[in-house]
Structure 1
Amino acid sequence: MQPALSPSSFHWPLWRKWLFCFSCIYLLLFTSPLNWLGSVPVLGEVAGLYGAAEGWLVNLGNAHLFHVKDVLVPLNGSGDTSYGYAQLCLFALAATVGACLWVLLDRRRPNYNRGYYWLLVLVRYFVALNALGYGILKLFALQMVPPPLSALATPLGDFLPMRFSWYFIGYSQPYQVFSGAAEVLAGVLLLWRRTSTLGAFVAASVFLNVMMLNLCYDIPVKIFSIHLFALSVFLLLGDAGRLFSFFVLNRPTPPAPAPPLLPWRWRVAQLTIKAVFIGVFALLPLYQYAQGNASAGAPAKGRLATGFFEVEKFEANVPDSLRWKDVIFEANPTGSILTADTLLRQRYRRGYFAYTLDSAHHTIAFKKMASDSLPLFTLRYAQPDTNHVLLRGKIRNDSVYVALRRQKRHFQLAERQFHWLSEANR
């Protein structure tokens, strides 16, 4: 994709120059090319210094100009924190001031055709690599997981919209693979100049859907998804006149100007760099994500009965709100308890935990997060048979005895239900 050239393209009006300068500064700040290369040893240090300087400027600008929040919450699992919005304000302010200075100091330049071409290349690769990164994860059904037992045992009304939408997509592996294939298709088409216009169309369609999901289900990736959709539309602006003539006016449209032919050595170098980009920014994250899932989902050493357990007996000197009603041990070393005890990680009115099993000493260490080095408490366990688990020990220095009995809970949502023939509205 490259901007279509016309006689007017050689002399840009002032407003067009300003828009280009603003877009160039803003998009360079938002895409942060230095952060792409953060994993490279030498450039990683430069990226760290750049990130520290940006953080200082964001906090300084927020304290004196933006006032998004008194104390900014840094970016974490959510991309829509107060820091994220203050960061956008800084980018917009820097782009506005920078564009004004740029246009004034460089007012004799007739146009920025060459700069516009390379800006489109940067945006094209940014959108393509994000489409490939997210799409490949979905293509292998790794981004959204099916509802685990703990989720199936949670009343629907207790879920937040984001978690509800996550399980909605994760429930159907074919749908997740389909959506991932659409994103991968957009990314692949954007990597090649000849197919980049079609790729921008596909990307705009895909990211419009993603953006609306994030907005309508309160998924905290709103800022980023809005930008991915806007950048996909930005890629189409260079061909706006030709597209309008073809799709709206039903007129013949001339082809886009042919790119200059490169010597074969440059072509080989170009393809090599493209392959490295795909490997580093698309396939490597897939490998790291899969490795993380494999380590998180590794079975605990020894054997512990898994499933839904009813609490037959709970002996402890605790308030009724802290008593255990039922316990779920997942197939991986995690689980949840129906209790209001804040010692555990409370989500959707259940206390979630990770655990480490020591089959030699018959102990189970409960942790708030799998990455925690120290357990919240450790209990001794016994398994008279596969349907019963006995736990005893101390929680908050209070002696506790818990007798669990497995229940054969049947969750229809855990089944893969599909019917061509449906005699009733199920």
Structure 2
Amino acid sequence: MLAARVLPAGTFISYGYAKLTGAQFGLSAAQLAQSVQQLGLFKLAWYLFGQEPFKSFVGGAQIVAGLLLLWHRTALVGALLLLPIAANLLVVDVTYVRILPALQWRLLFYIGLIFLIFWHYRGRMLAAWCTLTQGLRPRFLYPWWAYLLLPVAAVGLEIAGALPHVAYLTARHPAETWRSTVDLLHALLR
């Protein structure tokens, strides 16, 4: 079981380190001068994934997940964190990096190792699942008509969530915000 933790840990720590140091992702100056059609999906994906803060976020997450896998107390948390990272990489590789099927097989193998870790800790996983799913009741009981108002409430929440951004734009660009608001009202009233 220790090897099933150390292999993906070392691999993903090295992948994360490569992203943080610029050894992974990005294009050369000659490649940047080419048209999108000439680059192909693989190089285009590497260019897009090389943008910050995406590259640093993914690299940092890979390092953290790998480090968590190394210690017994945090191995399960590391596996839980690493699963979506590895699955996402697999989907990206299947979609864009069609020229390297060996990498796809390696990622499938690492995902299998993650599930082996889950199986090893299945007792704890089951206990956590039961804790999260059993005995949950709503804090408040709602009448049936309240569920009919959910679409209106969702729109209200969406508007409430946009208010800080609107306040920021109004403070930063008051004339443009006013003009946009008037244009929106005219469009709605037509």
Q: 1:138 aligns with which of 10, 19, 22?
A: 19
TM (normalized to structure 1)? 0.29
Deviations 1:75-107 (A, max 9, x none): xxxxxxxxxxxxxxxxxxxxxxxxxxxxxxxxx
Residue identity opposite 1:243 in structure 2? M
Q: How does 1:255-404 map to 2 (within 5 A)?
A: none
Cα displacement (A) at 1:161: 1.5
Cα displacement (A) at 1:235: 0.9
For 2:126 and 2:63, the matched residues in 1 are separated by: 27
Cα displacement (A) at 1:212: 0.9
Aligned pair in 2 of structure 1 residues 152, 241: CA closer, same or farther (>3 Å)? same
For 1:159 and 1:248, the matched residues in 2 are separated by: 49
For 1:153 and 1:198, the matched residues in 2 are separated by: 43
Q: 1:244 aligns with which of 119, 122, 126?
A: 126
Cα displacement (A) at 1:207: 0.7
Cα displacement (A) at 1:248: 4.8
Residue identity opposite 1:123 in structure 2? A
Higher relative contact order structure (alpha carbons within 8 Å, sequence separation ≥ 6): 2
For 2:111 and 2:43, the matched residues in 1 are separated by: 23
Cα displacement (A) at 1:251: 5.4
For 2:5 and 2:107, the matched residues in 1 are separated by: 15
Q: 1:128 aligns with which of 9, 12, 24?
A: 9
Q: 1:184 aligns with which of 60, 63, 71?
A: 63
Q: Report the counterpart of residue 225 of structure 1 in structure 2.
A: 107
Structure 2 spans left out of the alignment, 5+ residues:
136-167, 170-175, 177-190
Residue identity opposite 2:91 in structure 1? M
CA RMSD of aligned residues (A): 2.4
Larger fraction in strand: 1
Residue identity opposite 1:157 in structure 2? Q
Q: Report the counterpart of residue 159 of structure 2 in structure 1.
A: none
Q: How does 1:71-82 map to 2 (within 5 A)?
A: none
TM (normalized to structure 2)? 0.63
For 1:216 and 1:169, the matched residues in 2 are separated by: 14
Q: Report the counterpart of residue 152 of structure 1 in structure 2.
A: 32
Q: In the comparison of the two structures, how many residue pairs are matched?
A: 134
Q: Which runs of 4+ in 1 moved over 4 A?
A: none
Larger fraction in helix: 2
Aligned pair in 2 of structure 1 residues 233, 208: CA closer, same or farther (>3 Å)? same
For 2:127 and 2:73, the matched residues in 1 are separated by: 19
Cα displacement (A) at 1:208: 0.9
Deviations 1:238-273 (A, max 9, x none): 122431342256359xxxxxxxxxxxxxxxxxxxxx
Structure 1 spans left out of the alignment, 5+ residues:
1-119, 253-419
Cα displacement (A) at 1:229: 1.8
Partner of 1:173, secondary structure, is coil
